[in-house]
Structure 1
Amino acid sequence: MSAESTRLVIERLGAQGDGIARTARGHAYVPFALPGETVTAAVVGERGTLMALIERAPERVEPPCRHFGTCGGCALQHLEASVYHSWKRDKLVQALAGRGIEVPVDPLVTCAPESRRRAGFTARRTDRGIVLGYNQALSNEIIDIEECPILVPAIVSALPALREVAGIIAATSQPFRLLVTATDSGLDIAAMDSGALSEHARHAAGRYVLKAGFARLSVDGEIVIEPRKPMVKAGDVALEPQPGGFLQAVASAEDAMAALAVGHLGKSRKVADLFSGAGAFTLRLARYVEVHAVEAEAAALGALDRAFRFATGLKRVTLERRDLFRRPLTFKELNAFGGVIFDPPRAGAEDQAKQLARSDVPRVVAVSCNPVTFSRDVATLVEGGYVVKRVVPIDQFLWSPHVEAVALLEKPKKRR
């Protein structure tokens, strides 16, 4: 289908941050266009490519990054901050309203630039050398980046060294992943699908990691070299994340979510932390209350166990390896707890929420990075008798369409 150049008036922002215009054939979605703007766009089907700005919106600002518009990482650097914050909060409001949940939603907890402590890069060996960066939107093309205003400076300043590491370990001409985390003891680099590592490459990579001062390098989950254990803080507890393991992207966002959880559950008789990961919430809650952490990934539970054993002053923590998608805790099991927190992947916790809705657990904290599945799971709890006490949106993913959410819920005691 050939592109058709069309003059469009942008009416609103879509869920992914695209400008939406009405045409004779239906809606057209134009990335990087803002409401109130008149643009020329090349339209194919429903997708438009911005060609020219005819009338600019007053909310349009200069993007801080030279790669904005080609790199697929950010969608909204060109939108004035207060309007951007309102749009992101409203995504959560609309998702809840779509489920019939009309509750006050707090102002957005904002995220500062240069605060994201982990980056998932794509790397590839080419005739010109190693390309390392982010995939262009809706494309397999890698944008070789030189800056990134969302990342902590420790990662940005290491981009040349990260390309060197990628070049040493690349045993394939195919794209591979490089997950880089800034920890208190240095950068933790986890490569995935970079190909079988030869002994020569292993030794060369080890020498370069020592020279660059990185904390750890792993390839497909195997530690190649670890000059220093990569450590982060879960509250005041030191935690060593497993190679390539999940970690909240922004430390201040994790702190905000954990503070809400502790405030809501900190006086419960015992708390279940479902989808606990390596214990970002467990280790903070354990300062005040006994916690039972449930997680499917053995390596994450191992990291949590080590952190707990070396910490002091914590209440009892028990661990259970369990796939909560296949085998959620039943309502009878849940009734042993005075509080529950759950923070599932983007797919949400549909079956677990149904069991929780049937339980008598008095206090629940629901955490999610997906407003659609979050609102679905919260609606399930409300149908089961829970009352939403507070909803807090958190901008952990700056200038992207994604928003984190925390809901605090209570179930009134049954009258006998």
Structure 2
Amino acid sequence: MIKSASVVIIGGGIIGSSIAYNLAKMGCKNIVLFEKNTLASGATGRCGAGIRQQFGTEMNCILSRESIKIFENLSQELDYDIELNQGGYLMLAYTEKEVNQFKKNVALEQSLGIDARFITVEEAKEIVPPLNTEGLLAATFCPSDGHANPFNTNFAYAEAAQRLGVKIYNFTEVKGIKTENNRIVSVNTDKGEVLTPIVINAAGGYSGEIGKMAGVEIPVYSQRHQILITEPVDPLFKPMLMSFSRNFYCQQTPHGSIIMGFGDPDEPKGHDIGTSWQFAREMAQKMTAVVPLLKEISMVRQWSGLYNMSPDSQPILGEHPQIKGFYMAVGFSGHGFMLAPVASRLMAELILKGRTSIPINKLDIGRFERGELIIEPSVV
């Protein structure tokens, strides 16, 4: 194995792989990525793969808008079909509070050039004919939202990075990080030590543990989120269906299967990625009420993955103030896949140029101590 590197990236999911690619694309040499299992074996390969721009904070709107622009050209740039499908997101409002928030969201989104619009119940029904509109008050729709294949996207970034000289080591677990005088010195793995001045923590659900190896506390925790998928059926609807008040998201994939999930507010912190029959039952009850035709469709399987949560459900991007050379791209809180294209580009800019094309200083780890949390109102 290599003995020294200019940059060591920990984590082979979409965040780590895309950072590796962007660093190499910008001219960085001698980059190493360590993944303790295989690429996309963590949260990336287990995610719902949705990509949206409909948020309630300016930061998230700008980042997601720029990420969509990258997604739209990514298959060509990386020479790998990521199966991007821009069928839109239909956000469903069932409470007056939600209606008022959606109006604010759309005003913000439109001011930033995002093609979202506030629509009536009748218009929502036109977009998704099998939708049960009982109890629905209004909706928003953004046609350029959608989804992509998370495995293809992860592999596309990784293979493009390797073509640019990045060395990727699967089945290589990081065991320790050595520092001296508050600077990164090396990374210890189960296959040997690598000297390096820069470590990028992109370890997703295990990023807190990686922080402890470097001697710092990162205010993140992991939490299980479950998903199920049905048998493939003829096309029923194009957009992702999402509700915050009723707590669900649901989309039909290009090959016909329907993926759905929700966030359990009582889910304990931890690394459990098991599944439960209680989730399957509640998920079925939620979605058959929204799209009654789903009652006739069989569930095939279910799985779970880890959200890496921060105190304000926003990512932590940047260098740790206590350790020179220790960078973090963590705490994406369920939005890592959709924000990866832009977040990875900005991280590469920060590391190589010391500045970013979009300001991300508000996403630094110091915001929690300063009490400057960025509260996003529109999350499942």
**Higher percent of residues as strand:** 1
| Global fold match (TM > 0.5) | no
TM-score (ref. length: structure 2): 0.26
TM-score (ref. length: structure 1): 0.24
